[in-house]
A and B are shown apart, each in its own frame.
Chain A
Amino acid sequence: MKLTAQCFRPPNLTRAVLQLTLTCLILMQRVLKAWELLEVKSVLRDKIPVVRRFSGGGTVIVDHGTVFVSFVCNKDSVPSLQPYPQPIMAWSSLLYDQVFHGAGDFKLRENDYVFGNRKFGGNAQSIIKNRWIHHTSFLWDYDEINMAYLKVPARAPKYRMERNHSEFICRVKDFLPRSAFIEGIIKAAGTHFSLRFVPWDAIELSAAANFMPSSRMLTRQELKAAIDAEPESLLSQSM
Chain B
Amino acid sequence: MALRLLASRAASQLRLAVFPRGFATVINELKYTDSHEWVKVEGNSATIGITDHAQDHLGDVVYVELPEEGATVTQGSAFGAVESVKATSDVNSPVSGKVTQVNSELNNSPALINASPYENGWIIKVEMSNAGELKSLMDAGQYTKFCEEEDAKH
Contacts and interface: CB of A to CB of B under 8 A. Distances in A.
Given A55-B88, A128-B78, A86 B14 contact: no
Interface residues on B, range: 35 or more
Interface string A143-182: 0000000000001000000000000000000000000000
A222 to B, nearest CB: 17
A87 B76 CA distance: 24
B85 interface: yes
Prevailing SS type, chain B contact patch: mixed
Interface in B11-39: 11, 13-16, 35
Contacts of A123: 86
Interface string A105-130: 00110010000000000011111110
Interface string B53-89: 0000111001101000000000010100101111111
Contacts of B115: none
Nearest to A157: B85
Contacts of A87: 3, 6-7, 154
A48 B25 CA distance: 46
A190 B5 CA distance: 22
Contact of B13 (A55, A80, A81, A94): A94
B72 to A, nearest CB: 15
A170 B10 CA distance: 23
A193 interface: no
A77 interface: no
A18 B15 CA distance: 28
Contact of A57 (B3, B13, B86): B86
Contact of B86 (A94, A111, A213): A111
B119 interface: no
Interface string A76-104: 00001110111111110110010000000
A49 interface: no
B9 interface: yes
A80 B14 CA distance: 20
A155 B62 contact: yes
Given A56-B88, A58-B86, A126-B87, 16 more contacts: A29-B62, A56-B84, A56-B85, A84-B58, A85-B58, A85-B84, A86-B7, A90-B11, A91-B6, A93-B14, A94-B13, A107-B16, A108-B14, A125-B88, A126-B89, A155-B85
Interface of B: 2-3, 6-7, 9-11, 13-16, 35, 57-59, 62-63, 65, 76, 78, 81, 83-90, 92, 107, 150-151, 153-154
23 contacts: A29-B83, A30-B65, A31-B62, A32-B63, A55-B87, A55-B88, A56-B83, A56-B85, A56-B86, A56-B88, A80-B2, A81-B3, A82-B3, A82-B57, A86-B7, A86-B59, A88-B87, A93-B13, A126-B87, A127-B87, A127-B89, A128-B89, A129-B78
